[in-house]
Amino acid sequence: MGLRQRNWARRETIRLKALLGNACAHCGITSNLQFDIIESMGDAHHRCEWSWRISFYRAQLVMKNLQLLCETCNKRKADHDDPF
């Protein structure tokens, strides 16, 4: 992936996290945040490249199916999402 695409991915990640309030939906912590799909859609997106995943996360956000969880809360959930 090119540098420009990587910068875009980073910007989009920051933007999406800001839209989600930059805090864990569960405990309110603001560090080690990871995207979490509320109603799991399977793990197919884990195998995809960032640009595809960000589009996926953005679509989930629109459908109100995306939240932020801190590492601790995310580990408690069965389905994991990688940190960016």
User: Where does this chain bind Zn ion (CB under 5 A)?
Assistant: 24, 26-27, 29, 70, 73
Amino acid letter at 24? C
Q: How far is the CB of 24 from Zn ion (least distance, A)?
A: 3
Q: How far is the CB of 33 from Zn ion (least distance, A)?
A: 8
| Residue nearer to Zn ion on the CB measure, 66 or 73 | 73
Run of H or E including 59: helix 50-62
Give the C-alpha separation, 67 to 49, whole Å: 20
Q: Residue 26's closest CA among 69, 65, 80?
A: 69
| Residue nearer to Zn ion on the CB measure, 4 or 76 | 76
| Residue nearer to Zn ion on the CB measure, 26 or 58 | 26
Q: How far is the CB of 25 from Zn ion (least distance, A)?
A: 8
Q: Which residues contact 53 (CB under 8 A, 6 or more apart)?
A: 45, 46
